[in-house]
Structures are given as structure tokens and as C-alpha cells.
Amino acid sequence: MLSPSKRPFVGILAFLIVLLIMPIGHAVMVLIEILFGKEYQYVAAVALGLIGVVFLFLGTKQEKETTATWMGFFAGILLWTGWVEFSYVYFAHHLAIAPLMEKGKVITKPEYLLMPSTIGLLFATFLYFFFNKETRCHFIKWFHRHLKLNLGAPTSSKNRNYAGITAMETIYIFWLFYVLLLIAYDPRLLGDRHPVTYAIFFGSLLWSLYLFVRLIKISKMPHAVRYAIPTVVIFWNSVEILARWGFFKEIWIHPGEYKLELSLIFAAFVGMTILTLLTPQEKPTESK
């Protein structure tokens, strides 16, 4: 059984599990489109989101922080994929938005051309979290310290809703970096070969490396999982950009061609997640 006090294994394990969910999430969305078709894919997407709601509800009832954190993470993934991404798919088709083409090839799907329009809503709602004294987010707290924003002392972490916190963290981080990359890719604004896009690529690599070094110093699994989410998503920016530049083929958007590879990824994900759930009960943390 893995001890929660063994560093750096806890942080590495959390990083790998969250990393594996990235291709799985992409593959699930593609499979829904393939298996259910245009007629029933939205019904399937609504059902997927409802499963996320169930995970979130059950997670709020969990006393073990690790279990609550994982259920919140899964809830965030399911809600994002089922309700958020497919809502863009629906309205992009409803409004007959044409995909972005280059040399006869689709380089940006219609739904992703629509998503950057939410940037105002993203930052407006982010203000609630930014000015929230209860936040344990290291990124936000860095600004609080340097801007000398004294919002008051947060309450004890004993009764925190870790499932809800993790779900919202997952959704917001996905949302933020989707918008960032899509704006960078837009040739009318920047373009995927623009210096800013190169800066995002190298900046994401360096930032994720910095976060990873901090992550492997964490000894408690639930804290490591919540810290691994932004670490992986920021690292994934560089993966997405490399794929955009044509450095490799994204097997996760071709699940029919790479059944074995994706099955192995899923099996590794399940196995490592179970391993984290077998760790001894942790004491509540004051972490994010």
C-alpha cells in the first residue's frame, strides 16, 4: 500500500493519473460523436453531464478527502465534456458556423471558433474566486500577497467541500486554457506560428516544470491531485501546440484506429487511481 508520506511518489502518481485523463477525455468526446451520431450525441452528452452531477453529489458526502477530490475531478471532466463542450458543438451547428480550413483541411472545428467568445464571462466570473477569502489557490494567493489584498482569514479546512472545489477548479482551468490557445490559433488575431504562440509553448513548458517540482514535494494525495490538475493542463498546452504544428498524430482523436493504445492508457489510469484510493486516511489539509 502506498503511504501518503512518501515523496516524490505521491506527486508523480497524481501527475500521471491526471495526465492520462487528458487523452481519455478527448477520446470519449470523439466516441460519443461516432457511436451516437448527430441525432443522439446531444442526448448522450446530457447524460454524461448528469453522471458528473451524481459524482459531484456523492463526492460532497465523502468523508475521505482523497475520494472526495477524485470524485470532484471526475465530475468536472464529465460536466466539461458533456455539458460545456457539446453545448458549443450544438450551437456551432445551429448557427451554421463554418470550420477554419487550411489547404483543404479542417484545422479548427466550428465549436472551437465559438468558444473564445466566452472570454468576458470567464474573467467576470473569475472575480468571485479572486476576491474570495476562502481560496487556497496558490496562484490567486500570490496576487493577494503582492497586491496586499487583505480579505480576511479563511475558515477551517475541516468542512470544506473538496469535491465541489476540485470540480470547479477543473472546469475553470480547462476553460481558461482552451480560450487562450484558441485565441492564439486564430490567424486573424495571432496564428499558430505567431511569436506569442511560441511564447505560450515555451512558457507552458517552463511553468509546468516549476509546478511539477513543487508537486513532487507534496506528501498528501488529495493535495497532490488538486495541485496536479493545473500542472498537467498547463503542460498539455505544449502538447496541443506540438500537435497543431504537426509534430505527431493525436491518437486520442482517432480512437477507432488506436484501440489498443487507448485501452492501455485507460487501464493504466484505472489502476493508478485505485492505488491512490488505497492510501491510508489523511488528516484534513489547509491546501487548495
> For the chain, what are the domain ranges?
9-117+161-275
- What string of DSSP letters covers the chain? ---TT-TTHHHHHHHHHHHHHHHHHHHHHHHHHHHHHHHHHHHHHHHHHHHHHHHHHHHHT-SSHHHHHHHHHHHHHHHIIIIIIHHHHHHHHHTTPPPEEETTEEEE-HHHHHGGGGHHHHHHHHHHHHT-TT---HHHHHHHHHTT----PPPPGGG--HHHHHHHHHHHHHHHHHHHHHHHH-TTTS-TTSHHHHHHHHHHHHHHHHHHHHHTT--SHHHHHHHHHHHHHHHHHHHHHHHHTTSS--GGG-TTT-HHHHHHHHHHHHHHHHHHHTSPPPPP----
Per-residue pLDDT at 183:
94
**Who wins on pLDDT, 161 or 175?**
175
Mean pLDDT, the chain, whole residue set: 88
Cα Rg for the chain, rounded, in angstroms?
19
Mean pLDDT of 157-175: 87
275 has a pLDDT exceeding 90? no
pLDDT in tens, 107-120: 888 999 999 999 99
> Tens digit of pLDDT for each residue in 62-108?
888 888 999 999 999 999 999 999 999 999 999 999 888 887 788 88
Question: What does the pLDDT read at residue 4?
Answer: 46
Give the confidence band of 283 by pLDDT, cuts at 50, 70, 90: low
> What percentage of residues in the chain have a pLDDT greater than 90?
58
pLDDT given for residue 84 in this prediction: 95
pLDDT digit string, tens, across residues 42-68: 999 999 999 999 999 999 988 888 889
Mean local confidence (pLDDT), 233-243? 95
Residue 140's pLDDT band (boundaries 50, 70, 90)? confident
What integer pLDDT is reported at residue 142 of this predicted model? 82
The answer on pLDDT for 246 being more than 80 is: yes
The torsion region of residue 161 among left (phi > 0), alpha (psi -120 to 50) and beta comes to beta
The per-residue pLDDT for 150 is 79
Mean pLDDT of 206-235: 94
What is the average per-residue pLDDT within 238-245? 94
What pLDDT digit, counting tens, does each position of 119-139 carry?
A: 999 999 988 888 887 777 778
Would you state the pLDDT for residue 2? 46
pLDDT, average across residues 135-152: 80
Per-residue pLDDT, 168: 93
Query: What is the average per-residue pLDDT within 166-182?
Result: 94
